[in-house]
Structure 1
Amino acid sequence: MDGLFWGCFIGGAVFALASTLLGDIIGSWIDGIFDLISIDFLKPIITASAVTTFGGSGILLSQYTGLGNTPIIILSILIALLLSVLVYFIYVKPMENSENSIGYSEADLPGKLGEVTIPIGVGGFGEIMIKQVAGNTLHIAASWDKREISVGSEVVVVDMKDGVALVSELYGTNEEEEMI
């Protein structure tokens, strides 16, 4: 029995170490193989921790208790399951929710507010600056409603067409009252 426990302990530890060091390389080699059985709880980190814990607890229970093989195996399985559940809910699940991306696509820009940095002529192009998570981004812009827009004006992106932001100027309350 000790051979089984030591094998699980060493095998799980080696797998955890290898997946930590070579995870991206191995992941690209076996890309998509395990998508069929994509049960959220069967992630490699959970499986490796369960196997390692089973082996480690089996070694400790057989060495420091007078229990027989069957109770040791049952207790080792229960300890491994308990630790795996803890690892999943304390480490893996919160880490999945913490992934953020600083990237964006042009499809995300309509509705965003920006500021004109280079004036936009009636039929021409200018430039706007939009504040993003990663910082400020500059985009070529044209007037959506064919109006001239001066530097410093606040605009909203109405649409994106061929990499050009079609914008419309936002009016403050004073300008709106003048227009009425």
Structure 2
Amino acid sequence: MEALYWGCLIGGAVFAIVSLVLGDLIDGLLDGAFEMPGVDFFKPVVLAGSITAFGGAGILLTRYSSLSVMSSLILSLLIGIAAAMLVFFAYIKPMRNSDVSIAFSMKELAGKIGEITIPIPANGFGEVMIRFASGSTIQTASSFEQLPIAAGARVVVVDVVDGVLRVSEWDEDVLKEL
């Protein structure tokens, strides 16, 4: 029985070291092959932590306690399950909830309101700053109507062509008439 415990302990430790060193490479190659959709509790890191804790607890209980083999096995299993729960609730769940991205797609900028930071000539390029809740971005822009737009003017992004925002001057008076 002690050989099983040692195998679990060593296997879990090797998995931890390999995933630490080659984690991104392995994740790219396997592309989530071991993850079950909707079941976060069975992630590889949780299972590996559980197996490692099971092996370590089994070795300690076998060598340093007067428990029977069956009692040591059951207690080791319970310790492994407790370790899995600890890893899941202390690491996996908080990390899943903190996975927030502030990235945006250029196509999402269509319809956004911005401010010209570098004037746009009639047939040239300037820059527009668009503010988000998470910050702001400055992008290259050109005039949609082929008219010059002065710095400080409010504009609306009409569309995005080849990574350049095509903007039109924002006219509040036109909106009031509508």
Fold agreement, TM-score > 0.5: yes
Q: Deviations over 1:65-118 (max 9, x none)?
A: 221111211111111111111111111121123234454321221243322133
Q: Aligned residues: percent identity?
A: 44
Alignment of 1:25-174 (within 5 A): 25-31=25-31, 33-34=33-34, 37-38=36-37, 39-121=39-121, 124-127=123-126, 128-131=128-131, 136-143=137-144, 148-170=148-170
**Which amino acid in 2 is paired with 1:109?**
L
SS of residue paired to 1:104: coil
- Asked if the contact 1:103/1:134 (under 8 Å) is kept, the reply is no
- Asked if the contact 1:116/1:126 (under 8 Å) is kept, the reply is no
Distance 1:33 1:148 in 2: 54
Question: With structure 1 as the length reference, what TM-score do the two structures score?
Answer: 0.78
The size of the alignment, in residue pairs, is: 173
Output the aligned Cα RMSD: 2.8
Write out the 4+ residue segments of structure 1 that deviate beyond 6 Å after TM superposition. none
Question: With structure 2 as the length reference, what TM-score do the two structures score?
Answer: 0.79
SS of residue paired to 2:61: helix
Distance 1:141 1:93 in 2: 45
Structure 1 match to 2:9 = 9
Q: Deviations over 1:102-142 (max 9, x none)?
A: 54321221243322133335x53442233465763222232
- Asked if the contact 2:141/2:167 (under 8 Å) is kept, the reply is no
For structure 1, the residue ranges without an aligned partner over 5 or more in a row are none
- Asked if the contact 1:143/1:149 (under 8 Å) is kept, the reply is no
For structure 2, the residue ranges without an aligned partner over 5 or more in a row are none
Distance 1:112 1:60 in 2: 62
